[in-house]
Amino acid sequence: MSSYWQIVLASRPEGRPRLNNFRIEKRSILALPDGNILVRTLYLSLDPYMRGRMSDARSYASAVAIGAPMEGEAIAEIVESRHPDYRPGELIRAMIGWRTLAAIDPATARRINVGRAPITTALGVLGMPGFTGYSGLKVIGQPKPGETVAVAAATGPVGSLVGQLAKRAGARTVGIAGGPEKCRSLTTEFGFDRAVDHKSKSFAKALSEVCPDGIDVYFENVGGAVWPAVLPLLNRYGRVPICGLVAHYNGEAGVGRDRLPDTMLAVLRRSLLLRGFINSEFISEHYDAFLSELTPLVATGAIRYREDIVEGLEAAPAAFIGMLCGKNFGKLLVKVA
Amino acid sequence: MSSYWQIVLASRPEGRPRLNNFRIEKRSILALPDGNILVRTLYLSLDPYMRGRMSDARSYASAVAIGAPMEGEAIAEIVESRHPDYRPGELIRAMIGWRTLAAIDPATARRINVGRAPITTALGVLGMPGFTGYSGLKVIGQPKPGETVAVAAATGPVGSLVGQLAKRAGARTVGIAGGPEKCRSLTTEFGFDRAVDHKSKSFAKALSEVCPDGIDVYFENVGGAVWPAVLPLLNRYGRVPICGLVAHYNGEAGVGRDRLPDTMLAVLRRSLLLRGFINSEFISEHYDAFLSELTPLVATGAIRYREDIVEGLEAAPAAFIGMLCGKNFGKLLVKVA
């Protein structure tokens, strides 16, 4: 019998999640079913999409039930195996949830293959966030040499890769982030041509000044106040991959006038393309190319990434809540064991 | 010396255009320049995009200047030619504007070739509106057999063709129009599977009832109140070609809450594609196929269309104003001569 900790959804948040929407519990695994593996969580990934799972609004995935463990991908080590193909000591990643230990069917897991890169990259630049940036830019954004690519949440695991890949494709890159420290890292660490602070009062003006030729691709992964500043700058035939809208996940009612007509009219008048996506829709066609292209670039440092690691499963709720308002600086991970 | 009438933009409208935004004037052509042709307008096309030309907001085309003739495409007969390739009596279509007579460079005109169909079709189902519907559906909508295609302004020249082409592609078609008479014509005249009246108080409910499997393609050419009813019905990977937003051209301020987050979240969560377009961007690739496919279908009656013809150039302003609130029933034309 193995006991473990898990964090469950205690109640559905109204607006911004609070600590009391979560509850930590001790549980036990009595016996490992045949064909399963017992895994100990090493790192848990915290990602904005989890906010959606806390609500029961219609989405591409169903909601976490009240009382059920929060969903999440993790890196784990096999501690016991009742499957002939898996041995203790091997590392996998899987949707283990916010738990320190789990019995899982290994068919739902992937062995970690990050070459010489640290294993945590399997949850970030070489994992789901990285593939989100890679596939959205490749399939929808399609930057061309000389075009301007703007990216929101640009120090995050999706945005920082999008900026670097757009630059490698010959585009001029503009990163948007909150605060001077993050903005500095955009140009010094991630190679963006320009950085703009969305917390600045003159944000819209500053953005237009660093985009003298407009914006051809805007990689949308935040929503909120960035979009109205980007919209007037989008060039004819601009492309907008939309992979996240963290500013809207808490469901605060929009204030002021209805901004929808402005957006629809701009889409019409400038032949814009808006396309929402989730990385899973591109896996069968693009995942292998992603891993084979990116793994060596990450291992050699040609592609950079940044991680923000908090310690202990019990730290997950506060870290997650902070991430929803941009407190993290880099890919947010919880070191569990 | 030939005298003629023209209607000019007297002032820019605030909101809905009024008759005093237009002025009718008598003018003269003193001499026909070498290389030009003198043409007499037979039919003038009135189209919603013209509302955009009356304002000086940023768009894909520049505004009509105050005092300049209103823009518009027309069918005209050559009455005099100083170009070796053109002879009196030939019919052309060109951006002649709201005028009874014009001296134009024939390089800006196209000879009319509608086979056995009436010449007015060159301004409707076989002209710009028809090509808008054809190209938007083919390039962006891409309906598949068994999918549901919904079309707004479905008795109009764009929508009625979209419905018929979607049906021919094997889709189930739902037409949206205003009032019982238009709705009746959708099923009896244009072959839509179902019709829904957007003026009905239970419009959103009625729409959802006739779309039990959701909507895969929504052809947006009106905006306004139809979109919020369509949005919750759009299926994953739904496609939304946007070719017109007549409900927003008058620039009335949106009332109530900000609807933009709902739209963006739906785009994200259901991997929707929104793409604005103007027919001209698809001409080089698709126009020849459009004409060769559609001309025989229109001539034999396999593809149907409806025209709403008013008499006399002086009737154009009132007819145009009425069209902006859906008073026309079919492609609106002015019989000028």
Dist. CA A22–CA B221, nearest whole Å? 46
List all residues of chain B from 244 to 273 with a beta carbon under 8 Å from chain A: 244-245, 248, 253-261, 263-273
| Chain A: closest CA distance from residue B135 (Å) | 13
Q: Confirm whether B2-124+306-335 and B128-279 share one CATH topology.
A: no
Q: Give residue A58's pLDDT band: very low, low, confident or very high (50, 70, 90).
A: low
| Chain B: closest CA distance from residue A59 (Å) | 5
* Cβ <8 Å between B278 and A260: no
β-strand partners of B273 = A275, B239
Q: Give residue B258's pLDDT band: very low, low, confident or very high (50, 70, 90).
A: confident
Domain regions of chain A by residue span: 2-124+306-335, 128-279
Q: Which residue of A has its CA nearest to B282?
A: A271
Q: Does B56 touch chain A (CB under 8 A)?
A: no
Question: pLDDT tens digits, residue range B234-254?
Answer: 999 999 999 988 888 777 655
Q: What is the pTM of this model?
A: 0.92
* Cβ <8 Å between A242 and B277: no
* Cβ <8 Å between A263 and B260: yes
* Whole-number pLDDT of residue A56: 82
Who has greater pLDDT, A113 or B95? B95
* Whole-number pLDDT of residue B246: 82
Q: Give residue A223's pLDDT band: very low, low, confident or very high (50, 70, 90).
A: confident
* Whole-number pLDDT of residue A251: 73
* Cβ <8 Å between B244 and A273: no
Give the tokens for residue A133. Answer: 């940036």
Mutate to test the interface with A, among B51, B273, B274, B282 (most CBs of A within 10 A): B274
ipTM of the shown complex:
0.92
Q: Which residue of A has its CA nearest to B232?
A: A58
* Whole-number pLDDT of residue A313: 98
Q: Per-residue pLDDT for A307 more than 60?
A: yes
* Cβ <8 Å between B264 and A223: yes
Dist. CA B161–CA B143, nearest whole Å? 14
* Cβ <8 Å between A253 and B253: no
- Low-confidence winner among A243-247, A325-329, B117-121, B306-310 (lowest mean pLDDT): A243-247
CATH topology of domain B2-124+306-335: Quinone Oxidoreductase; Chain A, domain 1 (3.90.180)
Dist. CA B17–CA B15, nearest whole Å? 6
Q: Per-residue pLDDT for B91 more than 60?
A: yes
* Whole-number pLDDT of residue A253: 57
> Is the separation of the CB atoms in A165 and A241 below 8 Å?
no
* Cβ <8 Å between B270 and A276: yes
* Cβ <8 Å between B275 and A267: yes
* Whole-number pLDDT of residue A258: 87
> Is the separation of the CB atoms in A108 and A127 below 8 Å?
no
Mutate to test the interface with B, among A135, A140, A243, A265 (most CBs of B within 10 A): A265
Give the tokens for residue A232. Answer: 């007037």
| Chain A: closest CA distance from residue B253 (Å) | 8
Q: Does B327 touch chain A (CB under 8 A)?
A: no
- Phi-psi region at A179: left, alpha or beta (left = phi > 0; alpha = psi -120 to 50): left
Dihedral in degrees, nearest 10, Cα atoms B86, B91, B97, B100: 100
Residue A263 is which amino acid?
Answer: T
Q: Per-residue pLDDT for B137 more than 90?
A: yes
Dist. CA A44–CA B194, nearest whole Å? 50
Out of A220, A223, A265, name the one closest to residue B245 (CB): A265
* Whole-number pLDDT of residue A60: 60
Q: Does A226 touch chain B (CB under 8 A)?
A: no
Question: pLDDT tens digits, residue range B16-63?
Answer: 999 999 999 999 999 999 999 999 999 999 999 999 899 887 666 789
Q: Give residue B223's pLDDT band: very low, low, confident or very high (50, 70, 90).
A: confident
What's the whole-number mean pLDDT along residues A53-77?
88
Question: pLDDT tens digits, residue range B147-194?
Answer: 999 999 999 999 999 999 999 999 999 999 999 999 999 999 999 999
* Whole-number pLDDT of residue B56: 82
What dotted CATH number matches B128-279? Answer: 3.40.50.720
3-state secondary structure of B274: strand
Question: pLDDT tens digits, residue range B108-129?
Answer: 999 998 788 999 999 999 999 9
Q: Does A111 touch chain B (CB under 8 A)?
A: no
Dist. CA A158–CA A243, nearest whole Å? 9
Q: What is the DSSP string of B29-87?
A: E--PPTT-EEEEEEEEE--THHHHHTS-S--SSPPPPTTSBPP--EEEEEEEE-STT--
List all residues of chain B from 206 to 225 with a beta carbon under 8 Å from chain A: 220, 223
* Whole-number pLDDT of residue B58: 62
* Cβ <8 Å between A248 and B264: yes
Average pLDDT, chain A: 94
What's the whole-number mean pLDDT along residues A232-251?
91
Residues of chain A neighbouring B263 (CB-CB closer than 8 A): 260, 263
DSSP code, position B101: E
Task: Give the strand order in the sheet containing B172-177.
Answer: A194-197, A172-177, A148-151, A215-219, A234-242, A273-276, B273-276, B234-242, B215-219, B148-151, B172-177, B194-197
